[in-house]
Structure 1
Amino acid sequence: MSKKITYDELMGQIAEAAVNYQQAETQRNSLRRELNVLYKTYFTAYGHPYPDEPRKRIDPEDDRFSGVLRFTDAAFQRWLAARYLTTSTKRKMRTLIQRLERVL
């Protein structure tokens, strides 16, 4: 049987989880900005596949976007990993907060 956690220990865990979440979110946002810069760089150099259309989204199913997808793949994978980390740290923080709510 596990030892019951004290209020102070739980608050410490929540604080640590909140800091981890904020750091993960900051990193994710930074990587998103990097990705957007790479998109802009690519489209400035090679042109947009649909220059006369106001579309903003990149369609991974459209072959015309294959060049930009290859160019940004490494940055996109880093952003995906950061998004996963942000989601998991947020979930951990919420779980700890719910645990605190049950104690109060």
Structure 2
Amino acid sequence: MSGSISVTLELSGGAELMFANTRLHTLEIPADLTLQSFLLYLADEKMTDKRRDLFIQGDTVRPGMLVLINDADWELEGEGEYVIQDRDVIHLISSLHGG
């Protein structure tokens, strides 16, 4: 499949601070993109805070970052191998808090 699809990215728990302090993003992305590729794309192209290590560790999100696909834990969907579908809602929630 070629072309692009539309996805909604929702950020909360402090994750929005890395993306221009904006909680809701509607993005056009290439069709057939895996969640892992999407997360790396976000880190490289969409983060306004260029401290990539706050978001990505290795080739996935840092521990403490919850990832939901259409309100389901990404572990139930195959984690990074999940192929994003048109109109999916990806929710990233930071569970890391200062103290």
**TM-score calculated relative to the size of structure 1:** 0.25
Q: Indicate the structure with greater helix content.
A: 1
**TM-score calculated relative to the size of structure 2:** 0.26
Q: Indicate the structure with greater strand content.
A: 2
User: Which has the greater radius of gyration?
Assistant: 1
By relative contact order (CA 8 Å, sep 6+), the higher-ranking structure is 1
